Amino acid sequence: MDSDLAFSLRGVGATAGSFQLRDVSLSLPVGYVMGFVGANGAGKTTTIRCLLGMQQIQRGEIEVLGHRVPGPVALRQDVGVVLDHDYVVGDWRLSEVERAVRPFYDHWDGRRYRELLEEFGLDMRAKVGDLSRGMNVKLMIALALSHQARLLVFDEPTSGLDPVARDELIGILGDFLLDEGHSVLFSTHITTDLERIGDYLTLIHAGRIVFTGTKEEVLDAYRVVRGGPDDLTDTVGVELIGLRRTATGVEAMVPAADAELLGSRVVVERPTLEEIVVRIGSKAGTKTGAKTGPNSRPVAEHADTGPTRSRGRRPAMAWRNK
């Protein structure tokens, strides 16, 4: 067990209905934020459920805050959770929600709960069932942040939030991370959030980890190439990810190391995180027309050991500038 890690999954395999997670390995050092990105159905929620002990795994092992999962019940004291749906009684008022969950937590901070609700513009007298999707997300975030958790696990927390609320959430997470013992796993479709807050990024596609590493490593791992309609037709040995060919031009993403193999006729650019997610998400349905060479392995195949465990400065600290 490694106490320097907020969590780790090693070779995890799990089945959820017809969906399968295959050989999922990722880890996050204590004190950092990991963005977990992938298209709908890629396996983000299943991975998170495995991490939380809500989904039985068939292979591999999982550790959270130094404890093997399934771990002691007390471990739940240290994990704040926001899932992609709410799970409290719709007829409860927000004050009753607090009264319902408070007895279970040794370090429940009622003042923090009320402060967060106020910050989010939620009335303690409001009923859960009367809240909008975005307000429900805020309520769940307030619950997760009110029992002095050391690890926050958020599954699509910003999907129902307007830009102002998302900004507030990023700020609140920034405050949470001021304590170096705090860590966050944050799954989302909204990549701009991750560009602000993510230290590490993990990309998942079709139940497999495509990439896991620091944000800079992810951004450095790929290049977007653009050319005329006749370019990228004979790219032997280069994997073209998310190839799009039209009458006026062609564009694709390639592993960064392969970009120079494409010659000088194409324009090579560093992709945005969104471009990486979109192109990898569409990878399965894309015909690359290229053979796979020794230098064009999918990044996941040589990136399954998790991020480096350097305890130095956070790799990305944009949120601190808030």
As measured in angstroms, the least distance from the Cβ of 51 to another protein is: 12
d(CA 153, CA 52): 9
105 touching another protein, by CB under 8 A: yes
Is residue 33 within 8 Å of 6, Cβ to Cβ?
no
Find the binder of another protein among 3, 41, 59, 90 (CB under 8 A). 90
Which residues inside 200-259 make contact with another protein, applying CB under 8 A? none
Q: Based on CB atoms, which residue is closest to another protein, 79 or 266?
A: 79
Q: Tokens standing for 191?
A: 């990549």
Nearest approach, Cβ of residue 97 and another protein (Å): 9
Check residue 19 for interaction with another protein (CB under 8 A): no
Rounded distance between C-alpha atoms, residue 222 and residue 215, angstroms: 12
Binding status of residue 293 toward another protein by CB under 8 A? no
CB of 85 to another protein, least distance (A): 7
CA distance 190 to 254: 22
Q: Which of 31-39, 60-68, 88-96, 306-314 is the region at the interface with another protein (rule: CB under 8 A)?
A: 88-96
The residue within the footprint of another protein, chosen from 54, 257, 267, 268 (CB under 8 A), is: 54
The CB-of-107 to another protein minimum distance in angstroms stands at 11
Asked whether position 132 contacts another protein by CB under 8 A, the answer is no
Angle CA(17)–CA(21)–CA(23) in degrees, nearest 5?
150
C-alpha neighbours within 13 Å on the C-beta side of residue 113: 22
Cβ distance to another protein smaller for residue 70 or 249: 70
| The one among 40, 103, 247, 284 contacting another protein by CB under 8 A | 103
Task: Report the residue number, 105 or 249, with the smaller CB distance to another protein.
Answer: 105
Minimum CB–partner distance for residue 86 and another protein (Å): 8
Element (H, E) at 251: strand 250-255
Phi, psi of 30 (to 5 degrees): -60, 135
Cα 36 from Cα 52, distance rounded (Å)? 15
Neighbours of 198 (CB within 10 A): 27
Q: Is 67 a residue that touches another protein (CB under 8 A)? A: no
3-class SS of residue 140:
helix
Residue with tokens 């990549």: 191
Using CB under 8 A as the criterion, which residues of the chain lie in contact with another protein when the complex forms?
Answer: 17, 49, 52-56, 70, 73-77, 81, 83, 85-92, 96, 99-101, 103-105
